[in-house]
Amino acid sequence: MSTPDLAPRRTFGGVVAVWVLAAVAGVLIGLFAPEQWRAQWITVALGGCVIVAFAVQLWYGRSQAFIQRMALSAVGALVVLGVITAGFGLAALVSG
């Protein structure tokens, strides 16, 4: 049996960090990847965000609500990358 943490670390910062990583990756992919390769690179970025989310959540060392934090990180990264991809898709329609 382990003793409870007296002052547990806040875990929401790790979730938001994954969202920020997804936003940065999405913008960089949109700016530097050719149009025909963006969807593949966005998929790779999402996979990287999931791996980073696992690393961040395991680094916190708290088992309470691990699944919820992982789901929030992954779904949030998916939404962020989806919004950025939709933005670049609309920009391609307008300019093309």
Element (H, E) at 5: none
Q: How is the chain split into domains, by residue range?
A: 23-95
pTM of the model: 0.85
pLDDT of 72 over the 60 cut: yes
Over the stretch 6-53, which tens digit does the pLDDT of each residue have? 656 667 888 999 999 999 999 999 999 998 999 999 999 999 999 999
Nearest to 56 by CA among 38, 42, 69, 43: 69
pLDDT band for position 92 (cuts 50, 70, 90): confident
